[in-house]
Structure 1
Amino acid sequence: MFFAACVSLSLVVPLLALVPVPIWTQPEQVHLSYPGEPGSMVVTWTTFSKAESKVEYGLLGGRLFEMTVGGKYTLFVDSGEEKRKMFIHRVTLTDLKPAAVYVYHCGSDDGWSDVFSFTALNDSTSFSPRFALYGDLGNENPQSLARLQKETQLGMYDVILHIGDFAYDMHEDNARIGDEFMRQIQSIAAYVPYMTSPGNHESTYWNLGSAHIVSISTEVYFYLEFGLELLFKQYEWLKKDLEEANKPENRAARPWIITMGHRPMYCSDDDQDDCTKFDSYVRLGRNDTKPPAPGLEDLFYRHGVDLELWAHEHTYERLWPVYGDKVYNGSKEQPYQNPKAPVHIITGSAGCREKTDLFNPNPRDWSAFRSTDYGYTRMQVVNTSHIYLEQVSDDQYGNVIDSIWVVKEKHGSSAWS
């Protein structure tokens, strides 16, 4: 018996030695982003072993994968206990034909993604881009996700703006929650640029059509342990960007200035948060720092920011044009036609494990419309004078429950006069 067992083991051991160690070179978590350069698109994906970074692509209707572009990967080591390693691949496609449809896949000869398609962004200032806007979307209770997936694949959007708080939370379970979330949104993000701003559960700018869109971090006002210099650096960067955007030739080409940041300056939720419990740090700054930290409301007002997009509060709220806690409507009959202050939209009810919030029963005068339905916002920058916004209720099977036109014959700080 002992001899037979030894013989059996001697036969098995060589076979075990031939079994390869798993190599995780299959691309996943594919997503697009717009780097801000006309005719370009960045493709990003993840593997869990080293592999080449390539995108093969071609025009829809042409020869499949007739063009190939290489890129680079970076090693990311999660800060959790397991120190999980993953490789983040980035490839930039250039010289894309405006508004042309491309078919692509990404990876290497060690593994290729599914086949996806995207429409190259139009670099014309007369382009009327269509957006889906939301924040606070998790992979647990992501109620609006299925509708957003379908609408994206139907070609309803040119860009997605995710205004902070992803996955809930990206770092949990040694970043496996983040991995799963990125797999979930691949069915959106692999088809259109998926642009983000930081949230509290985890800066850039770009031009699109007649709009200059600025993404900011509001978290620099709350996580001072990471360095007060981050707050001041962002403020100075933002000030310079807005000054550049307001040069006459730039404001003439792209008159709309739109900001997106996670925590709002104003809100009427009943959750004892920053903008409900006390005056928002983001709006007025902080006096408990040395030196005092400047807020953003005056900066945005001085530079004629037209529209401010926020999330964080798990509700939808539309404000009347507001500055300094006071309403400055264009007129009683047409409040959003030539408004005398920026327009604020809070859209943080896409769906997450924290559910939706409740509202304060006694809102301030600047609160125009409120909803606790799960949902998201659509926006179209129609032309240099008109922006259309509407709120979709997922609870009401995709019905539009609120809509406005923001109409401006003049842009810039002089529009407030």
Structure 2
Amino acid sequence: MLSVVTVGLLLSLAPLFVLCVPPIWTQPEQVHLSYPGFPGSMEITWTTFNETDESVVEYGLWGGQVFEFTAKGNTTLFVDGGSEKRKMYIHRVTLNDLRPAAAYVYHCGSKAGWSDVFAFTALNKSSSWSPRFAIYGDMGNENPQSLARLQKDTQVGMYDAILHVGDFAYDMDEDNGRIGDEFMRQIESIAAYVPYMTCPGNHESAYNFSNYKNRFSMPGRTEGLWYSWNVGSAHIISLSTEIYFFLDYGLDLIFKQYDWLKKDLEEANRPENRAERPWIITMGHRPMYCSDNDKDDCTTFQSYVRLGRNDTNPPAPGLEDLLYLHGVDLELWAHEHTYERLWPVYGYKVFNGSVDEPYVNPRAPVHIITGSAGCREKHDPFVPNPRDWSAFRSTDYGYTRMQVSNSTHLYLEQVSDDQFGKVIDSIWVVKEKHGFSSWF
């Protein structure tokens, strides 16, 4: 028979025994969209922390029968590389045969739990459509200053897609992946409504970029390291600049990406393809030019991204010549926690269209660096005197908006969150012809 003291002790410890029972995590969270790369489709990705029997999206046309359609997908177990080896289940479902430019409502999950109800607009497949984008890199879980404004912009319908040019959460792997979880929850209010298209940055490098590769669902079969897609009159190419810096994960990646990129650019430049999608736009995390004072790769003439690496066997090719020779119009970058717009530049020389209209028929690619969305590392400093090819610089927190208006006109503007959403810089890039011949 237990004594009164023993019974009292057991009762006092009872809450501890209860706390040892882990919760069941079958509720969907971290919902986000991406474009799989073929017309009439959308991919929906979410996370649970316990396995569910199935991965389901129920959806229907806005104003029609709610959840009229059902699509099923698959689940992948992702084990974070940290000491706890935390498990998460990544669910992916692709919706097909969507009506172009039609609005849909959806939720995702299973009989074990459903997400909130979200909405999206299927991408218009027409090459004469004028898509609108928000573009930024380097946004963290801590100090994501631009996030609230981006959330509101997105929810009032300002964008058709988001381009996040590397560096997420700071960092997705920290605290055994919990920082990544919280960041993905933060962007759900953006990414569950429009395709959230990404490229890897240096802050994703842990465990061979495993958090990035598993959490996002990009087109192609390269785990999101590089891929391309068409939207409106633009062919957009996402690249990994990190393969030049993390050689332990495979020197061969530089050559694989280069060969893929060359073939992709050749295909995009076939006369019939360039006529339909005349704008070729690239996005990659680390720029090949910048006027920051931080000794990053872009501050040196011998930039790895620009010229390649001669200290490898065999030497690794850079990107500038390849992009120039195939008539790439616009190159989007981040990494520097600043905003910088360059004059049209190639080989460290300015090639403006004219003195009065530098971006009208420019004779080299236009570079935009937009890495000031906000993170715990705060701002980067500029060198006191801008380089000859630097046209505009700002250390304000903010992000870039872009609209591909038609086959000849593309608009860019920079929003300052420090100045309450003020547009602090804007340009029209006008090209009467595209391709390598447009440089002459």
TM-score where L is the length of structure 2: 0.91
Cα 1:261–1:4 shift into 2, 3 Å: same
Deviation by residue 1:25-72 (Cα, 9 ceiling, x = unmatched): 000000000011100000000000011200000011111111111100
Give the aligned partner of residue 206 of structure 1.
Answer: 229
Amino acid of the residue matched to residue 194 of structure 1? Y
- 2:259 is matched with which residue: 223, 231, 236? 236
Q: Which residue of 2 aligns with 1:109?
A: 111
Pair 1:118-2:126 in alignment: no
Q: CA separation in 1, counterparts of 2:134 and 2:111?
A: 35
What is the alpha-carbon distance in structure 2 between the residues aligned to residue 314 and residue 6 of structure 1? 61
Query: Which residue matches 1:174?
Result: 176
1:65 corresponding residue in structure 2: 67
Partner of 1:268: 291
- 1:364 equivalent to 2:387? Answer yes
**1:342-357 correspondence to structure 2 within 5 Å:** 342-357=365-380
Deviations 1:381-415 (A, max 9, x none): 00000000000000000000000000000000000
1:188 match: secondary structure: helix
Partner Cα distance (2:429, 2:22) in 1: 59
Residue 98 of structure 1 corresponds to which residue in structure 2? 100
How far apart are residue 226 of structure 1 and its match? 1.1
Q: Which residue of 2 aligns with 1:2?
A: 2
Q: Which runs of 5+ in 2 are unaligned?
A: 205-225
Q: Report the counterpart of residue 310 of structure 2 in structure 1.
A: 287
Secondary structure at 2:354's aligned position in 1? coil
Q: Secondary structure at the match of 2:314?
A: coil
Q: What is the distance in 1 between the residues matched to 2:6 and 2:380? A: 67
* Secondary structure at the counterpart of residue 174 of structure 1: coil
Q: What CA distance in whole angstroms lies between the structure 2 residues aligned with 1:130 and 1:33?
A: 15
Question: What residue number does 1:401 align with?
Answer: 424
Which deviations, in whole Å up to 9, do the C-alpha atoms of 1:76-116 show, x marking residues without a partner?
00000000000000000001011111000000110100000
**Hey, what's the Cα distance between the residues in 2 that align with 1:344 and 1:22?**
49
Q: Distance in 2 between matches of 1:78 and 1:97?
A: 37
CA distance in 1, matches of 2:429, 2:5: 82
Q: Is it true that 1:157 corresponds to 2:180 in the alignment?
A: no
- For residues 272 and 5 of structure 2, the distance between their equivalents in structure 1, rounded to whole angstroms, comes to 85
Give CA-to-partner distance per residue, 1:138-187, whole Å, 9 cap, x none.
01000000000000000000000000000001101101000000000000
In structure 2, distance between residues paired with 1:163 and 1:138? 13
Name the structure 2 match of 1:194.
196
In the other structure, the counterpart of 2:23 is 22
Where 2:176 maps in the other structure, the secondary structure is: helix
2:57 paired with 1:34: no
- Amino acid of the structure 1 residue aligned with 2:117: V
Q: Distance in 2 between matches of 1:7 and 1:267?
A: 71
What is the one-letter code of the residue matched to 1:47? T
Displacement, 1:272?
1.2
| CA deviation vs aligned residue, 1:246-273 (integer Å, no higher than 9, x gap) | 0001001000000000000100001111
Residue aligned with 2:91, SS:
strand
**CA apart distance, 1:279:** 2.5
Name the SS for the 1:2 alignment partner.
coil
Residue in 1 that maps onto 2:49? 48
List aligned pairs for 1:69-88, cutoff 5 A: 69-88=71-90
Could you say which residue in structure 1 is the equivalent of 2:185?
Answer: 183
Deviation per residue, 1:303-341 (Å, 9 max, x gap): 000000000000000000000000000000000000000
Following superposition, the deviation at residue 278 of structure 1 comes to 4.5
Partner of 1:331: 354
SS in 2 for 1:409: coil
Q: Aligned pair 1:139/2:141, yes or no?
A: yes
Q: Residue in 1 aligned with 2:272?
A: 249
Mapped to 1, the partners of 2:334 and 2:7 lie a distance apart of: 67
Change in CA separation of 1:363 and 1:21 when aligned onto 2, cut-off 3 Å: closer
Q: Give distance in 2, aligned partners of 1:173 and 1:368.
A: 40
Structure 1 residue 2: Cα displacement: 2.7
**1:416 maps to 2:434:** no
- Structure 1 alignment gaps of length 5 or more: none
Could you say what the CA RMSD is over the residues aligned between the two structures, in angstroms?
A: 1.8
State the distance in 1 between where 2:117 and 2:161 align: 19
CA distance in 1, matches of 2:333, 2:3: 74
Aligned to 2:326: 303
Deviation at 1:131, TM superposition (A): 0.2
What amino acid is aligned across from residue 243 of structure 2 in structure 1?
V
Q: Deviations over 1:120-148 (max 9, x none)?
A: 00000011000000000001000000000
The equivalent position to 2:238 in structure 1, one of 205, 215, 220, is 215
Q: How many angstroms apart in 1 are the aligned matches of 2:30 and 2:303?
A: 35
Q: Quick one: which amino acid aligns to residue 30 of structure 1?
A: V
Q: Which amino acid aligns with 2:2?
A: F
- Distance in structure 2 (CA, Å) of the matches to 1:85 and 1:248: 48
Shift of 1:20: 7.6
Q: Residue 276 of structure 1: CA displacement?
A: 1.2
| Amino acid of the structure 2 residue aligned with 1:63 | Q
Question: Judging changes above 3 Å, is the alpha-carbon distance between structure 1 residues 250 and 150 closer, same or farther for their aligned structure 2 residues?
Answer: same
Q: Distance in 2 between matches of 1:109 and 1:58?
A: 18
Distance 1:7 1:301, change over 3 A: closer
Q: Matched residue of 1:201: which SS? A: helix
Secondary structure of the structure 2 residue equivalent to 1:151: helix
Alpha-carbon shift at residue 225 of structure 1 (Å): 1.1
Q: Provide the C-alpha distance between the structure 1 equivalents of 2:271 and 2:153, rounded to a whole number of angstroms.
A: 37
Q: In structure 1, what residue type is equivalent to 2:51?
A: K
